[in-house]
């Protein structure tokens, strides 16, 4: 198996299949890539996806979702989820993120995605993390979304799915700009939080900072008095 660590770069299609081909050559036919979206935002869920790649897969445009335009990402999402290949999605909501921390929540989302597959894969290629509670052999890859086609496919599904979730929350929680920044810590988002306070989508364990020289500002003192979206 090729090394598990390497620098991120723009690789040719054949180079992005090196890990998959190594698995196929050793008899692992159903190779799954896993990735997540939403570790950094102040609000919303973390979403993971799994995509099972086989030697017949030929969508050479698949690459790290962050390198794609929204329109290109949407087009590839629909191709990848057309029914020709197995895929799954796992979602962990803000309350659970607060309870177990974002690192563990990301791993849990990956496990949920894996468990959603109808047929378990033979081998896992994972972007940086280790999927818990599975006996399936796996390999964590630093910058895996740029180095593995299977992980890149998962990254597209996870990113597009999460973006649509956050866009859907725009009407329910107006004024925060969720459709634009998707919950990430932008200037607009910080200004909205200062103006409106936190919504039920905001992660209580994440804190705003007034500046780099002062203590974190806790905006969640009255959070529990607000509506819980999980009750709907």
Taken in order of first residue, the domains within the chain and their CATH numbers are 14-167 (3.30.420.10), 169-224 (no CATH)
pLDDT at 10: 81
pLDDT at 2: 54
Residue 220 to residue 89: CA distance in whole angstroms: 29
Contacts of 25 (CB under 8 A, 6+ apart): none
From 219, 174, 171, select the one nearest 193 (Cα to Cα): 219
pLDDT at 217: 43
Tell me the C-alpha to C-alpha distance, in Å, between residue 155 and each of 26, 37, 161, 203: 25, 7, 10, 22
How close are the terminal C-alpha atoms of the chain, in Å?
Answer: 46
pLDDT at 9: 53
Residues of the chain with pLDDT under 70: 1-9, 208-232
From 37, 57, 56, select the one nearest 47 (Cα to Cα): 37
pTM, full prediction = 0.88
Contacts of 204 (CB under 8 A, 6+ apart): 94, 98, 198, 220, 223
From 144, 170, 141, select the one nearest 158 (Cα to Cα): 144
């Amino acid at each position: 198996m090729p090394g598990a660590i390497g620098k991120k770069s723009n690789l040719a299609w054949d180079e992005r299949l090196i890990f998959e081909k190594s698995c196929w050559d050793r008899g692992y036919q159903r190779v799954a890539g896993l990735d997540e979206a939403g570790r950094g935002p102040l609000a919303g869920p973390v979403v993971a996806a799994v995509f099972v790649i086989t030697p017949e897969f030929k969508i050479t445009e698949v690459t790290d979702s962050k390198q794609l335009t929204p329109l290109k990402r949407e087009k590839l999402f629909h191709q990848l989820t057309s029914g020709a290949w197995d895929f799954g999605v796992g979602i962990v909501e803000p309350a659970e993120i607060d309870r177990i921390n974002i690192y563990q929540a990301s791993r849990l989302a990956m496990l949920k995605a894996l468990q959603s597959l109808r047929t378990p894969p033979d081998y896992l290629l994972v972007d940086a993390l280790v999927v818990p509670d599975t006996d399936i052999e796996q390999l964590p890859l630093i910058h895996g979304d740029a180095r593995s086609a299977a992980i890149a496919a998962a990254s597209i599904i996870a990113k597009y799915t999460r973006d649509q979730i956050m866009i859907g929350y725009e009407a329910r929680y107006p004024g925060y700009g969720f459709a634009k920044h998707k919950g990430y810590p932008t200037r607009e988002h910080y200004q909205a939080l200062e103006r409106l306070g936190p919504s039920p989508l905001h992660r209580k364990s994440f804190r705003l900072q007034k500046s780099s020289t002062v203590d974190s500002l806790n905006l969640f003192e009255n959070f529990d008095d607000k509506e819980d979206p999980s009750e709907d």
